[in-house]
Structure 1
Amino acid sequence: MANSTQQSSLKVYLRLLRYVVPYWGLFAISLCGFLIFASTQPMLGYILKYFVDGLSNPDASLFAGVPWLLEHAPWLAHLKLLQAVPLLIILIALWQGLGSFLGNYYIAKVSMGLVQDLRIALFNNLLMLPNRYFDNHNSGHLISRITYNVTMVTGAATDSIKVVVREGMTVIFLFVTLLWMNWKLTLVMLAILPVIGLMVSSTSKKFRKQSRKIQASMGDVTHVTSESIHGYRVVRSFGGEDYERKRFFDASEENKKKQLKMVRTGAVYTPSLQLVIYSAMAVLMFLVLLLRGDASAGDLVAYITLAGLLPKPIRQLSEVSSTIQKGLAGAETIFEQLDEEPEVDRGTQVRERISGRLEVKNLCFSYPGAEKLVLNNISFIAEPGQMVALVGRSGSGKSTLANLIPRFYHHDQGQILIDGLDVEDYSLRNLRRHIALVTQHVTLFNDSVRNNIAYGDLADASLEAVQRAAADAYAAEFIENMPQGYDTLVGENGVLLSGGQRQRLAIARALLKDAPVLILDEATSALDTESERHIQAALDQVMQGRTTLVIAHRLTTIEKADLILVMDQGQIVERGSHAELLAKNGYYARLHAKQFEDGAEVAISSEHDA
C-alpha cells in the first residue's frame, strides 16, 4: 500500500514538473546560479585554514607551492597571507552574490510562470466543465484551488527544487572537501545518514496527510466568505450576522487547528533532527582532538568549520519534504479537476441559420445518480414563430426541460429536434448560437451596460444595435438616464440596478442575439406591472418569426400562447390554448382561478381585458 502511494506521489510530481518544461532555459540559468552559490560554501570554510596559519606566520606566501604561478604570474605566487586572505574573502563573496542572484531571480520567474500557467489551465478548464460538476462542487472550494492550492503546488515544483539543488550541492561540495581533507573522520559522519533518511520518510507521510486537510479547510473558509458576500442582503435582512460570524469563526478555527498541527509536527521534527546531527558533530570533535596527528591548527579549524556548515543544509533538505508534500496534496486536487471530462460534444453538424422548428418526442430525463424521472414521456411541437408556454407547480420539470434544449444536461431517452435534427447532433457552440435564454436569475458582470448587453459572441455588435435591443426591451429610457449612459458600470451582478432593470438588460442581451429559438424561464417575474406591460409588448414584436418557449407562473403573461402545456410531476397533464384549457375546466382552470382568488393578477387582468 505504501509502495503504491509512493508511486502515485512520484507520478503526480513528475506530472507537475512537466509544467516546468517550457521554462527549462530559465530553470537551467537558475540551477547554474545555485551551483555557483553551493561551491562558495567550502571555499569560505577552507579560507579559515589560511587565516589561522596566517596568525602565526602572516608573511607566508599563499601560492608558493604552485610552480605554474611562479612561472606565469610571479606577483600572485608571492602574495602574502596578510593580503591574500581578505582579497579572497571579497572575491568569494562576489562570486556567491552572483550565484545567489541568478539562482533566486530566475527560479522566481519560473515559479510565477508556473502559478500563472496552472491558474489559467484551471480557469479555462472550469469554463469547459459540464453543469453537473458545478452542481456537485461548491464555489468556495473551486476558488480556493485557483488561489491557494496553486501557490502550494509551485512550492513543490520550484522552491523545493531550489532547496534540493542549492543545499544538496552545498552538502556534496562540503563532503568532497572533508573527504579530501580527512577521509577517515568523514566516513564516521556518514553513519548518521540512514537515521536522517528514516526520520524524513516518516515525517513526510504526516506532512502530506495534514496538508490535504489544511487545503480542504481553506476551501471551507473561502466558501463561507463567498456565500456571505454574495448573500449579504439576505444576511442583513434576516439578522444572520451572528450566524455567519459563527460559521466563519468555526471554519477559520478549524483551519487554524490544522495549520498548528502541521507546525507542531515540524517543530518536533526539526530539533530532533538537529540533535542527531549535533551528536554526530560532538563525536567528530572528540575524534579530531584524539586523532589530530601532525595536522596544523589551520587544518583542524577548517575541518571543524566545514563540518559545522553541514547541519544547516541537511536540515533544510529534510524540511523540503513538507513543502513537497503540501504541493503534492494541492497538485492532486488540481489534477483531479483538470482530469474531469469536459462537457461532452459529439455533435458535428453546423448550420448557419435555422428556422426554429422545435419538436420534442417521448422525452424522459432523470438527473445523474437519481432514479426518479424529472421528465416523463414529454412530446410537443413548436412551429417557427409559435409561442409555447409551460405552466405548472414548482418542481414539475419546466426549467429542466428548458435546460435540456441548449444541452446543459444530456438526455438518454427520447429526442429534442430543432429543424428536424437532434440537438445532440449539433456542435455545442453552434446549437447555443441559435438559442437565446433569459432566466429568472439574471447574471450581469461588473462591466458597462453596453458590454453586458453585447456579451460573448455579441461583443462586436455596434452601439446602434445595442441601443435598438435596449429600446425593444424597454431598457433604453433608464440606461440613458444613467451618469455615463451605456458606459455606466452596473456593479457586481448588477447590484446598482433594480430587479426589473437587470431583467430588462438580460432581455436586451437575448434580443441582440437575434436567435431563432427564444427561451424565457420566468423572464418577467422580477418586473413591476408597468415594466411587464412594456416587455409583453416588446416580446409580442420580438416573438414574430421566432420559436418561443415561455415558462411562467403568472398566467396572464402567456394567454396569447399558441400552445400551453400544463405540467405536473414531470408529465404533461393538459395541453391547448388559453381558451381551450379554461373550457376544459381542469388543472389549468383551477390554477387560473386560484391566481385570481389570491388577487395577485387583478390589475394586469383588468388592463388586459381593457
Structure 2
Amino acid sequence: MIGKLKFLLKYTHQYRWWYTGGLLFLALTVWVSVTIPEFIQKSIDLIALGQLGNESDFQKNVLIIVGLALALIIVRTLSRILIFIPARLIERKLKGEMFQKLSSFGKDYYDENSTGTIISRINNDINGVRMITGFGILQIGNILLSLSLTPYKMWQLSPTLTLYCVIPMVVVFVIVRIGMAVMVKNTRLRMNTLQQLSGKTISFLSGNSVIKSYNIYQWAEDEVQKENLSLFHETMRITWIRSFIMPLLSNLGQILKIVVLFAGGLYVINGQFTIGELTGYIAYAALLSQPIMGLGWVLTIFQQGFVGISSIQTIMDREGADDKRQAIDQNEKEKLFEQGIEVKNLNFTYHNGDKPVLSDISFSINPGQVVGITGQVGSGKTTLINCLNGYLRPDSGMVYFGKQDAHKLTSEDIRSAVRTVSQEVFLFSDSIENNITFGSKKATQVNPFEEVVYQSAFADELSRFTKKEKTLVGEKGIMLSGGQKQRISLARALYTPCDLLILDDVFSAVDTDTERFLIQQIFENHSAKSLLIISNRISVLEKTDYTLVLEEGRLAAKGTHEELIKQSDFYREILTLQQEN
C-alpha cells in the first residue's frame, strides 16, 4: 500500500498547484453548500410566522440563496477543471513513460508477455490511475470537507439528532467495507482474465490468414468464447456485489431523511424545533449522504486503481536493457565503427534456453568490407547478427566496436552505427513514403527518396500505384506482396546512411531478375561503409570479401568463394544445387 501511495505521490506532486487550486475551490463549494440551508431555514421560519413586514427579509434571503446557488455552480466547475486536467496530464505522462520503458526491454520480456497483455496494461491499468488522480482525489476532498463542516452544522442544531443519523451511516459503511474487500479479489481476477482475452484476440487477428487457410474458424471462436465467458463470470461477480452496495449507498440519504423526519418531527411537535430548523436539518442530512455515497465510489476506484498500479509497477520497476549502461558522447559515437567490429570467441545462450546457440565464433569486419554469412536453417545466423546490432546482448569481452566493448554500449549507440534489414519484415499501417523515411528525422544526412526506391527495385511498381508513394500499405503491409514488403524494408535501410548495413536474407521473396538487379545496386551503390549479408545464394556470396559458414552454432568455415569451395561441404552442396537449377 505504501509503495502504491508513493507511486501516486510521485505524479500528483508534479501538478501540486493544480490540485491546490482545485481543493481550495472544492472547500468553497462545500462552504457554499452548507451555507445555503441556513438561509432556507430563515426563509421557512419567516413563512411560518406569516407576519406583515417580513417581506423584505424574505426576499433578501431568497436573493442570497440564488446568489449562493450561482456561486456554487462556478466554484464547483472550477474545482473539477483544476483536478481533472492534471489527471489527464498524468495519464499522458504515464503512457509516455510506459512506452519508453517497454521500448527499453530486451527479447526476454516479450517472450514472457503477449502483446494483448501489454496493451491491456497500458489502457486499462493507466485508466485506473487517471480515475484515482482525478475523480478519486475530488471525492476524497469532498468527503473530508463535507464530513467536517456538515456534521458541525447539524451538531449546532441538535447533538442528539446528529447521533441518530450516525448510527445508520456506520452500519452502511461496515457493510460496504466488507463488500469492497470481496470486490478487490474479483477485480484482480477480472483484470488477469481481460489481459488473457486481449492477448488471444490480438493473436488470432494477427494470424487470421493461418486460421482461414486451415479452416479452423470454430476452434478460434471457441477459444475466444472460453476467455470471454470467463471474463463475463468475473464481471458478473463484481456486478452482483455492486448491485447490493450501490443501492444501499444511494438510499442512505432517504434513510437519513426518514430518521430526521421522525425524530425531528417530534422535536417540532414538542416545540424544540421550528419548521425552518427541521427543513434546514433535512437539507444537511441530504448533504451528508452525498459524501457517504461518494465514499462507495472512491473505495471502488481506489481498489481497482491499486490493482492496476500493481500491474504498472511490474513494468516500471523492471530494469531496462540499458539502464546500467552509460551513453557515449557524440564524438565517440561518430568514430564507433572507425576500426570496424571484432568478434572474439562469441558464445550465446538464450534466457530460456538450456544450451548455447552460438559457440566460440571469432571474426572481424573492417570498414569497406563486404562479409557474407551462410548456413543451414537453425545454424545461428540471425542470432549472430542480433548479437552485433544490440538486439541480443552477449557477455562482456566478446564483441568490440574498435576498442569499445559492445556489452557496455547502449542499444542506441550501437544502432547509430549498425542498421539491419530483418528477414521478418514489418511495415507500419501508413503510406509507403512514411514507411521508407521512418526513423530518418534525426539523421544528419539522407539519400534521395527516388534513388533508394530505384536501388531497392521498387520504382516500377511504385509508379503503378494510383497514389504513388502516398499509397497506404494496410496493417503490417497486408496490401503488398512479400517481395514488395521486403524491398520497402530495404529502401528504408538505404534511405539513411550508416556504418554497417546488415541484410538478413533480403532476396528470399524476389524473383531471379529482381535479385540480380538488387545485388548489383547493393554492391555497387550502397552508402554504408561495410555490408554484412546473410544469404544462401551463391550469386551473392561469391561477391563478398569473405563468407562465414555456420553449422549448429559453430564457425565451420571462413574464406572467399574459391576457398569455401575447397573447405566447406555445405557450400559445395548449395553451389551444386543452384548450378543445376
Name the TM-score, length of structure 2 as normaliser: 0.88
The corresponding residue for 2:31 is 39
Give the C-alpha shift of residue 273 in structure 1: 5.7
Q: Is the 8 A contact 1:208 1:325 kept in 2?
A: yes
Give the C-alpha shift of residue 178 in structure 1: 0.8
Equivalent of 2:201 in 208, 225, 235: 225
The corresponding residue for 2:383 is 400
1:371-400 residue CA offsets vs partner (Å, 9 max, x unmatched): 311111111233433333322232221111
Equivalent of 1:348 in 312, 318, 328: 328
1:220-265 residue CA offsets vs partner (Å, 9 max, x unmatched): 3332333344333333333343333333333333222222222222
The separation in 2 between residues aligned to 1:108 and 1:238, in whole angstroms, is: 50
The separation in 2 between residues aligned to 1:209 and 1:592, in whole angstroms, is: 64
Residue 398 of structure 2 aligns to a residue whose secondary structure is strand
Relative to structure 1, is the Cα distance of residues 333 and 402 closer, same or farther in structure 2, using a 3 angstrom cutoff? Answer: same
Residues 62-81 of structure 1 correspond to what in structure 2 (within 5 A)?
Answer: 79-81=56-58
Q: What is the identity percentage for the equivalent residue pairs of Structure 1 and Structure 2?
A: 25
Give the C-alpha shift of residue 180 in structure 1: 0.4
The separation in 2 between residues aligned to 1:503 and 1:48, in whole angstroms, is: 77
Question: Is residue 539 of structure 2 the alignment partner of residue 563 of structure 1?
Answer: no
The separation in 1 between residues aligned to 2:407 and 2:26, in whole angstroms, is: 56
Residue 262 of structure 1 aligns to a residue whose secondary structure is helix
The separation in 1 between residues aligned to 2:57 and 2:326, in whole angstroms, is: 81
Residue 333 of structure 1 aligns to a residue whose secondary structure is helix
Aligned residues: 574
The corresponding residue for 2:104 is 128
The corresponding residue for 1:330 is 308
Question: Is residue 279 of structure 2 the alignment partner of residue 296 of structure 1?
Answer: no
Q: Is the 8 A contact 1:208 1:326 kept in 2?
A: yes
Q: Residue type of the partner of 2:461? A: F
Question: Is residue 307 of structure 2 the alignment partner of residue 315 of structure 1?
Answer: no
Q: Is the 8 A contact 1:392 1:567 kept in 2?
A: yes
Give the C-alpha shift of residue 363 in structure 1: 0.8
Relative to structure 1, is the Cα distance of residues 279 and 418 closer, same or farther in structure 2, using a 3 angstrom cutoff? Answer: closer
Give the C-alpha shift of residue 59 in structure 1: 3.1
The separation in 2 between residues aligned to 1:430 and 1:460, in whole angstroms, is: 14
The corresponding residue for 1:11 is 3
The separation in 2 between residues aligned to 1:121 and 1:351, in whole angstroms, is: 26
Q: Is the 8 A contact 2:343 2:399 kept in 1?
A: yes
Q: Residue type of the partner of 2:415? A: R
Residues 250-269 of structure 1 correspond to what in structure 2 (within 5 A)?
Answer: 250-269=226-245
Question: Is residue 416 of structure 2 the alignment partner of residue 440 of structure 1?
Answer: no
1:460-501 residue CA offsets vs partner (Å, 9 max, x unmatched): 678862222222222233234433434444333333332222
Q: Is the 8 A contact 2:43 2:276 kept in 1?
A: yes
The separation in 1 between residues aligned to 2:251 and 2:342, in whole angstroms, is: 78
Give the C-alpha shift of residue 585 in structure 1: 6.5
Relative to structure 1, is the Cα distance of residues 20 and 56 closer, same or farther in structure 2, using a 3 angstrom cutoff? Answer: same
Q: Is the 8 A contact 2:22 2:81 kept in 1?
A: yes
The separation in 2 between residues aligned to 1:157 and 1:371, in whole angstroms, is: 46
Moved more, 256-265 or 349-358: 349-358
Relative to structure 1, is the Cα distance of residues 478 and 168 closer, same or farther in structure 2, using a 3 angstrom cutoff? Answer: same
Residues 356-375 of structure 1 correspond to what in structure 2 (within 5 A)?
Answer: 357-375=340-358
The separation in 2 between residues aligned to 1:202 and 1:411, in whole angstroms, is: 52
1:333-383 residue CA offsets vs partner (Å, 9 max, x unmatched): 223212222222345372424346332111111122433111111112334
The corresponding residue for 1:154 is 130
Question: Is residue 146 of structure 2 the alignment partner of residue 170 of structure 1?
Answer: yes
Equivalent of 1:575 in 531, 543, 558: 558
The corresponding residue for 1:138 is 114
Equivalent of 1:492 in 475, 485, 489: 475
Give the C-alpha shift of residue 195 in structure 1: 4.4
1:139-174 residue CA offsets vs partner (Å, 9 max, x unmatched): 112222222221121111211111122243233222
Q: Residue type of the partner of 1:559? A: E
The separation in 2 between residues aligned to 1:584 and 1:358, in whole angstroms, is: 25
The corresponding residue for 2:530 is 547
Give 5+ residue unaligned stretches, structure 1. Answer: 1-8, 63-77
Residue 18 of structure 1 aligns to a residue whose secondary structure is helix
Q: Residue type of the partner of 1:424? A: H
Relative to structure 1, is the Cα distance of residues 108 and 347 closer, same or farther in structure 2, using a 3 angstrom cutoff? Answer: closer
Relative to structure 1, is the Cα distance of residues 290 and 128 closer, same or farther in structure 2, using a 3 angstrom cutoff? Answer: same
Give the C-alpha shift of residue 44 in structure 1: 4.2
1:286-333 residue CA offsets vs partner (Å, 9 max, x unmatched): 544556453323323433443354333212213310111111111222
The separation in 2 between residues aligned to 1:88 and 1:135, in whole angstroms, is: 66
Q: Is the 8 A contact 1:396 1:569 kept in 2?
A: yes
Moved more, 181-190 or 536-545: 536-545
Aligned-CA RMSD value? 3.1
Residue 377 of structure 1 aligns to a residue whose secondary structure is strand
Q: Is the 8 A contact 2:104 2:321 kept in 1?
A: yes
Moved more, 178-187 or 415-424: 415-424
Question: Is residue 93 of structure 2 the alignment partner of residue 117 of structure 1?
Answer: yes
Equivalent of 1:242 in 215, 218, 240: 218
The separation in 1 between residues aligned to 2:200 and 2:183, in whole angstroms, is: 26
The separation in 2 between residues aligned to 1:254 and 1:508, in whole angstroms, is: 46
Q: Is the 8 A contact 1:458 1:512 kept in 2?
A: no
Give 5+ residue unaligned stretches, structure 2. Answer: none
